[in-house]
Structure 1
Amino acid sequence: MAAVTLWIANLCRSDPGYGGWAYVRKMDGETGAAAIKGAAGGERRTSSAKMSLTALTEALESLTDLPPETAVTLRFLDPALAGQLVAADGDYATAEPEVWALARAAVASRPVLDLVPAPPGEPTSGFLSAWAEFGLDTAKSRGSFKAAIPKPNLMKFPG
Protein backbone atom coordinates (compact mmCIF):
# COMPACT_ATOMS: atom_id res chain seq x y z
CA MET A 1 0.00 0.00 0.00
CA ALA A 2 1.23 3.49 -0.83
CA ALA A 3 2.05 5.86 2.00
CA VAL A 4 2.52 9.61 2.08
CA THR A 5 3.69 12.13 4.66
CA LEU A 6 2.28 15.65 4.84
CA TRP A 7 3.87 18.50 6.75
CA ILE A 8 1.85 21.65 7.48
CA ALA A 9 2.62 24.98 9.11
CA ASN A 10 0.84 28.26 9.67
CA LEU A 11 1.69 31.72 10.90
CA CYS A 12 -0.46 34.68 11.90
CA ARG A 13 0.70 38.06 13.15
CA SER A 14 -1.75 40.03 15.25
CA ASP A 15 -4.54 37.50 15.60
CA PRO A 16 -6.57 38.48 13.59
CA GLY A 17 -4.13 39.95 11.13
CA TYR A 18 -1.99 38.81 8.24
CA GLY A 19 -1.57 35.05 8.00
CA GLY A 20 0.23 32.43 5.99
CA TRP A 21 0.22 28.67 5.60
CA ALA A 22 2.29 26.03 3.82
CA TYR A 23 2.31 22.31 3.20
CA VAL A 24 4.67 19.76 1.71
CA ARG A 25 3.57 16.32 0.51
CA LYS A 26 6.12 13.55 0.02
CA MET A 27 5.50 9.98 -1.09
CA ASP A 28 7.19 7.68 1.42
CA GLY A 29 10.06 5.65 -0.02
CA GLU A 30 10.22 7.61 -3.28
CA THR A 31 12.77 10.17 -4.44
CA GLY A 32 12.96 12.78 -7.15
CA ALA A 33 10.79 15.67 -8.24
CA ALA A 34 7.68 13.54 -8.82
CA ALA A 35 7.66 12.33 -5.20
CA ILE A 36 7.25 15.78 -3.63
CA LYS A 37 4.93 18.74 -4.02
CA GLY A 38 3.81 21.64 -1.90
CA ALA A 39 2.02 24.95 -1.79
CA ALA A 40 1.86 28.10 0.29
CA GLY A 41 -0.69 30.85 0.65
CA GLY A 42 -1.88 33.68 2.80
CA GLU A 43 -4.70 36.02 3.65
CA ARG A 44 -5.34 39.42 5.17
CA ARG A 45 -7.55 39.87 8.23
CA THR A 46 -7.40 36.22 9.23
CA SER A 47 -6.76 34.15 12.33
CA SER A 48 -4.19 31.58 13.35
CA ALA A 49 -6.96 28.96 13.58
CA LYS A 50 -8.06 29.68 10.00
CA MET A 51 -4.50 29.45 8.69
CA SER A 52 -3.94 26.13 10.50
CA LEU A 53 -7.19 24.67 9.18
CA THR A 54 -6.47 26.00 5.68
CA ALA A 55 -3.03 24.35 5.67
CA LEU A 56 -4.65 21.08 6.77
CA THR A 57 -7.40 21.26 4.14
CA GLU A 58 -5.05 22.22 1.30
CA ALA A 59 -2.63 19.41 2.23
CA LEU A 60 -5.36 16.77 2.37
CA GLU A 61 -6.95 18.03 -0.85
CA SER A 62 -3.56 17.56 -2.56
CA LEU A 63 -4.12 13.80 -2.14
CA THR A 64 -6.98 13.53 -4.64
CA ASP A 65 -4.75 11.55 -7.03
CA LEU A 66 -4.22 8.85 -4.36
CA PRO A 67 -6.70 6.17 -3.27
CA PRO A 68 -8.61 6.98 -0.05
CA GLU A 69 -7.00 4.00 1.73
CA THR A 70 -3.48 5.44 1.23
CA ALA A 71 -1.77 5.68 4.61
CA VAL A 72 -1.23 9.35 5.49
CA THR A 73 1.02 10.72 8.23
CA LEU A 74 0.26 14.36 8.99
CA ARG A 75 3.04 16.25 10.76
CA PHE A 76 1.93 19.66 12.02
CA LEU A 77 3.39 22.57 13.97
CA ASP A 78 0.16 23.92 15.50
CA PRO A 79 0.18 22.31 18.99
CA ALA A 80 -3.61 22.63 19.37
CA LEU A 81 -4.58 21.10 16.02
CA ALA A 82 -4.94 17.40 16.97
CA GLY A 83 -7.02 18.21 20.05
CA GLN A 84 -9.20 20.53 18.04
CA LEU A 85 -9.85 17.89 15.38
CA VAL A 86 -11.32 15.47 17.91
CA ALA A 87 -13.43 18.10 19.70
CA ALA A 88 -16.72 18.76 17.92
CA ASP A 89 -17.19 22.14 19.57
CA GLY A 90 -13.64 23.37 20.20
CA ASP A 91 -12.29 26.89 19.78
CA TYR A 92 -11.47 26.35 16.10
CA ALA A 93 -15.02 25.18 15.34
CA THR A 94 -16.44 28.25 17.05
CA ALA A 95 -13.96 30.77 15.63
CA GLU A 96 -13.88 29.50 12.04
CA PRO A 97 -17.01 27.40 11.35
CA GLU A 98 -16.75 27.38 7.54
CA VAL A 99 -13.08 26.44 7.39
CA TRP A 100 -13.66 24.01 10.27
CA ALA A 101 -16.33 22.18 8.24
CA LEU A 102 -13.98 21.92 5.22
CA ALA A 103 -11.16 20.61 7.40
CA ARG A 104 -13.38 18.02 9.11
CA ALA A 105 -14.64 16.80 5.70
CA ALA A 106 -11.06 16.52 4.40
CA VAL A 107 -10.03 14.53 7.49
CA ALA A 108 -13.09 12.26 7.17
CA SER A 109 -12.16 11.45 3.56
CA ARG A 110 -8.89 9.87 4.75
CA PRO A 111 -9.60 6.74 6.81
CA VAL A 112 -5.88 6.02 7.40
CA LEU A 113 -4.61 9.26 8.95
CA ASP A 114 -1.96 9.44 11.66
CA LEU A 115 -1.60 12.85 13.36
CA VAL A 116 1.94 13.54 14.59
CA PRO A 117 3.04 16.85 16.16
CA ALA A 118 6.28 18.11 14.63
CA PRO A 119 8.82 19.57 17.06
CA PRO A 120 9.58 23.22 16.20
CA GLY A 121 13.35 22.54 16.08
CA GLU A 122 13.22 20.05 13.19
CA PRO A 123 14.70 21.22 9.86
CA THR A 124 11.35 20.46 8.18
CA SER A 125 9.68 22.89 10.58
CA GLY A 126 12.06 25.68 9.60
CA PHE A 127 11.45 25.07 5.90
CA LEU A 128 7.67 25.14 6.34
CA SER A 129 7.72 28.12 8.69
CA ALA A 130 9.71 30.07 6.09
CA TRP A 131 7.09 29.31 3.43
CA ALA A 132 4.24 30.19 5.80
CA GLU A 133 6.01 33.50 6.44
CA PHE A 134 6.33 33.99 2.67
CA GLY A 135 2.55 33.47 2.49
CA LEU A 136 1.99 36.04 5.21
CA ASP A 137 4.32 38.61 3.61
CA THR A 138 2.83 38.10 0.15
CA ALA A 139 -0.72 38.47 1.51
CA LYS A 140 0.29 41.85 2.95
CA SER A 141 1.22 43.19 -0.46
CA ARG A 142 -1.06 41.23 -2.84
CA GLY A 143 -4.00 40.06 -0.74
CA SER A 144 -5.21 36.48 -0.56
CA PHE A 145 -3.29 34.03 -2.68
CA LYS A 146 -2.19 30.42 -3.11
CA ALA A 147 0.79 29.19 -5.13
CA ALA A 148 2.79 26.03 -5.62
CA ILE A 149 6.20 25.92 -3.96
CA PRO A 150 8.68 25.78 -6.86
CA LYS A 151 10.30 22.35 -7.48
CA PRO A 152 13.88 23.67 -7.01
CA ASN A 153 12.86 24.80 -3.51
CA LEU A 154 11.01 21.56 -2.75
CA MET A 155 14.09 19.54 -3.70
CA LYS A 156 15.82 21.22 -0.72
CA PHE A 157 13.12 20.00 1.68
CA PRO A 158 14.91 18.21 4.53
CA GLY A 159 12.19 15.57 5.07
Structure 2
Amino acid sequence: MSALDRLLLACILAAAALVAGVFGLRHYGDERYTAGQAAAVAAGEEARDSQAAANLAIESGLRTRLLEQDATALRKEQEYASNLEAAQRRVRAGVDSLHCPAASPVPTSTAAGDRPAPAGIEVDPAGPGLMPEAAADLLGVAADVAGLVRRYERVVERFEACRAVNAAP
Protein backbone atom coordinates (compact mmCIF):
# COMPACT_ATOMS: atom_id res chain seq x y z
CA MET A 1 0.00 0.00 0.00
CA SER A 2 1.30 3.27 -0.96
CA ALA A 3 1.08 6.47 0.96
CA LEU A 4 -1.63 7.69 -1.37
CA ASP A 5 -3.72 4.60 -0.72
CA ARG A 6 -3.29 5.03 3.03
CA LEU A 7 -4.28 8.70 2.76
CA LEU A 8 -7.34 7.80 0.71
CA LEU A 9 -8.27 5.07 3.19
CA ALA A 10 -7.82 7.49 6.10
CA CYS A 11 -10.03 10.05 4.36
CA ILE A 12 -12.72 7.43 3.69
CA LEU A 13 -12.57 6.24 7.31
CA ALA A 14 -12.70 9.85 8.54
CA ALA A 15 -15.70 10.56 6.26
CA ALA A 16 -17.41 7.38 7.46
CA ALA A 17 -16.73 8.35 11.09
CA LEU A 18 -18.07 11.84 10.39
CA VAL A 19 -21.24 10.45 8.74
CA ALA A 20 -21.70 7.98 11.62
CA GLY A 21 -21.20 10.84 14.11
CA VAL A 22 -23.75 13.03 12.32
CA PHE A 23 -26.30 10.22 12.25
CA GLY A 24 -25.59 9.42 15.90
CA LEU A 25 -26.03 13.04 16.93
CA ARG A 26 -29.25 13.32 14.92
CA HIS A 27 -30.57 10.16 16.53
CA TYR A 28 -29.59 11.42 20.00
CA GLY A 29 -31.13 14.82 19.21
CA ASP A 30 -34.36 13.21 17.99
CA GLU A 31 -34.55 11.13 21.16
CA ARG A 32 -33.98 14.19 23.32
CA TYR A 33 -36.52 16.21 21.32
CA THR A 34 -39.10 13.44 21.59
CA ALA A 35 -38.43 13.04 25.30
CA GLY A 36 -38.70 16.80 25.83
CA GLN A 37 -41.90 16.97 23.85
CA ALA A 38 -43.38 14.06 25.80
CA ALA A 39 -42.39 15.73 29.09
CA ALA A 40 -43.94 19.03 27.99
CA VAL A 41 -47.15 17.30 26.91
CA ALA A 42 -47.30 15.40 30.22
CA ALA A 43 -46.75 18.63 32.18
CA GLY A 44 -49.43 20.37 30.13
CA GLU A 45 -51.89 17.53 30.70
CA GLU A 46 -51.13 17.58 34.41
CA ALA A 47 -51.66 21.35 34.59
CA ARG A 48 -54.87 21.02 32.56
CA ASP A 49 -56.17 18.25 34.81
CA SER A 50 -55.38 20.18 37.99
CA GLN A 51 -57.00 23.32 36.58
CA ALA A 52 -60.03 21.28 35.51
CA ALA A 53 -60.33 19.85 39.03
CA ALA A 54 -60.08 23.35 40.52
CA ASN A 55 -62.68 24.66 38.05
CA LEU A 56 -64.96 21.73 38.84
CA ALA A 57 -64.71 22.51 42.56
CA ILE A 58 -65.52 26.18 41.92
CA GLU A 59 -68.42 25.26 39.65
CA SER A 60 -69.74 22.76 42.18
CA GLY A 61 -69.63 25.40 44.92
CA LEU A 62 -71.39 27.90 42.68
CA ARG A 63 -74.07 25.37 41.72
CA THR A 64 -74.63 24.52 45.38
CA ARG A 65 -74.95 28.17 46.28
CA LEU A 66 -77.34 28.80 43.39
CA LEU A 67 -79.46 25.77 44.34
CA GLU A 68 -79.72 27.11 47.89
CA GLN A 69 -80.75 30.50 46.53
CA ASP A 70 -83.33 28.84 44.27
CA ALA A 71 -84.77 26.88 47.20
CA THR A 72 -84.97 30.05 49.28
CA ALA A 73 -86.58 31.94 46.41
CA LEU A 74 -89.13 29.14 45.91
CA ARG A 75 -90.06 29.22 49.59
CA LYS A 76 -90.45 33.00 49.44
CA GLU A 77 -92.55 32.78 46.25
CA GLN A 78 -94.83 30.23 47.93
CA GLU A 79 -95.10 32.50 50.97
CA TYR A 80 -95.88 35.49 48.75
CA ALA A 81 -98.52 33.47 46.91
CA SER A 82 -100.22 32.40 50.16
CA ASN A 83 -100.08 35.98 51.48
CA LEU A 84 -101.58 37.24 48.22
CA GLU A 85 -104.40 34.69 48.40
CA ALA A 86 -105.13 35.70 51.99
CA ALA A 87 -105.12 39.41 51.09
CA GLN A 88 -107.39 38.79 48.12
CA ARG A 89 -109.80 36.78 50.31
CA ARG A 90 -109.88 39.61 52.88
CA VAL A 91 -110.54 42.20 50.17
CA ARG A 92 -113.27 40.10 48.54
CA ALA A 93 -114.88 39.51 51.95
CA GLY A 94 -114.83 43.23 52.68
CA VAL A 95 -112.52 42.94 55.71
CA ASP A 96 -109.89 45.07 53.97
CA SER A 97 -110.43 47.60 51.23
CA LEU A 98 -108.44 49.65 48.79
CA HIS A 99 -109.21 53.31 48.16
CA CYS A 100 -108.22 55.68 45.41
CA PRO A 101 -106.27 58.66 46.66
CA ALA A 102 -108.40 61.73 47.21
CA ALA A 103 -107.76 64.60 44.88
CA SER A 104 -105.90 67.31 46.69
CA PRO A 105 -105.08 70.63 45.19
CA VAL A 106 -101.40 71.19 44.64
CA PRO A 107 -100.34 74.75 45.28
CA THR A 108 -98.96 76.41 42.21
CA SER A 109 -95.54 77.87 42.63
CA THR A 110 -94.60 78.86 46.15
CA ALA A 111 -91.20 80.03 47.19
CA ALA A 112 -89.10 77.69 49.31
CA GLY A 113 -89.00 80.23 52.12
CA ASP A 114 -92.80 80.50 52.15
CA ARG A 115 -93.33 76.84 52.88
CA PRO A 116 -94.11 75.83 56.43
CA ALA A 117 -91.97 73.22 58.13
CA PRO A 118 -93.51 69.76 57.95
CA ALA A 119 -95.31 68.89 61.15
CA GLY A 120 -95.33 65.14 60.66
CA ILE A 121 -96.71 62.53 58.34
CA GLU A 122 -99.80 63.71 56.58
CA VAL A 123 -102.31 61.01 55.86
CA ASP A 124 -104.02 61.36 52.53
CA PRO A 125 -107.73 61.51 52.99
CA ALA A 126 -109.35 58.35 51.73
CA GLY A 127 -110.95 58.63 48.36
CA PRO A 128 -113.58 56.40 46.87
CA GLY A 129 -113.18 52.69 47.57
CA LEU A 130 -112.51 50.14 44.87
CA MET A 131 -114.93 47.32 44.20
CA PRO A 132 -113.76 44.16 46.01
CA GLU A 133 -113.15 42.17 42.81
CA ALA A 134 -111.25 45.08 41.22
CA ALA A 135 -109.18 45.47 44.39
CA ALA A 136 -108.38 41.73 44.40
CA ASP A 137 -107.39 41.90 40.72
CA LEU A 138 -105.24 44.95 41.43
CA LEU A 139 -103.48 43.06 44.21
CA GLY A 140 -102.85 40.18 41.78
CA VAL A 141 -101.40 42.51 39.14
CA ALA A 142 -99.18 44.19 41.73
CA ALA A 143 -97.98 40.77 42.92
CA ASP A 144 -97.19 39.76 39.32
CA VAL A 145 -95.10 42.90 38.84
CA ALA A 146 -93.30 42.32 42.14
CA GLY A 147 -92.61 38.71 41.07
CA LEU A 148 -91.10 39.93 37.80
CA VAL A 149 -88.85 42.33 39.69
CA ARG A 150 -87.73 39.57 42.08
CA ARG A 151 -86.95 37.20 39.19
CA TYR A 152 -85.01 39.94 37.40
CA GLU A 153 -83.00 40.60 40.56
CA ARG A 154 -82.22 36.86 40.86
CA VAL A 155 -81.01 36.82 37.25
CA VAL A 156 -78.75 39.81 37.94
CA GLU A 157 -77.42 38.13 41.11
CA ARG A 158 -76.65 34.94 39.15
CA PHE A 159 -74.93 36.92 36.43
CA GLU A 160 -72.80 38.75 38.97
CA ALA A 161 -71.91 35.49 40.74
CA CYS A 162 -70.87 33.86 37.45
CA ARG A 163 -68.91 36.91 36.42
CA ALA A 164 -67.11 36.92 39.78
CA VAL A 165 -66.20 33.26 39.29
CA ASN A 166 -64.90 33.94 35.78
CA ALA A 167 -62.91 36.95 36.98
CA ALA A 168 -61.19 34.96 39.74
CA PRO A 169 -57.63 33.94 38.84
- TM interval, shorter chain, is under 0.3
Superposition TM-score, scaled by structure 2 size: 0.21
With a CA cutoff of 8 Å and minimum separation of 6, indicate the structure with the bigger relative contact order: 1
Higher percent of residues as helix: 2
Scaled by the length of structure 1, the TM-score of the pair is: 0.22
| Structure that is richer in strand per residue | 1
